[in-house]
Amino acid sequence: MALTPRQRARVSRGIQYAIALVVVAVVAFTADWGAIGRAFFDVEVAASLFPDVIVVALKNTVVFTALGFLLALGIGLLVALMRLSSVRVYRAVAFLYVEVFRGLPALLVVLSIGVGIPLAFGTLLDHTLSITLALGIVGGAYIAETIRAGIQAVPPGQVEAARSLGMSPTRTMVFIVLPQAFRTVLPPLTNELILLTKDSSLAFLLGTTLAQQELSQFGRAALNQVRSLTPLLVVGLCYLVITIPLSYLARRLERKYGSADKKVDA
Question: Chain-wide mean pLDDT for the chain?
Answer: 88
Q: Domains in the chain, start-ordered, CATH in brackets?
A: 42-265 (1.10.3720.10)
Q: For residues 218 and 50, what is the distance between their CA atoms, to the nearest angstrom? A: 11
Highest averaged pLDDT of the listed ranges 18-27, 38-47, 219-228: 18-27
Residue 266 has what pLDDT? 45
Residue 187 has what pLDDT? 85
Which residues, in sequence order, are CB contacts of 261 under 8 Å at separation 6+? 184
Kindly report, residue by residue over 129-182, the tens digit of the pLDDT. 999 999 999 999 999 999 999 999 998 888 888 888 888 888 888 888 998 898
pTM of the entire predicted model: 0.85
Residue 225 has what pLDDT? 86
Q: For residues 184 and 22, what is the distance between their CA atoms, to the nearest angstrom? A: 44
3-state secondary structure of 154: coil
**Whether 215 contacts 199, CB under 8 Å:** no
Residue 258 has what pLDDT? 61
Report DSSP letters for 101-112, one per residue. Answer: HHHS-HHHHHHI
Q: For residues 82 and 172, what is the distance between their CA atoms, to the nearest angstrom? A: 16
Kindly report, residue by residue over 207-240, the tens digit of the pLDDT. 777 788 899 989 988 888 888 889 999 999 999 9
Residue 157 has what pLDDT? 87
Q: What share of the chain is helix, strand, coil (3-state, %, to 5)?
A: 85, 0, 15
Residue 7 has what pLDDT? 84
Kindly report, residue by residue over 74-127, the tens digit of the pLDDT. 999 999 999 999 899 999 999 999 999 999 999 999 999 988 888 888 888 888
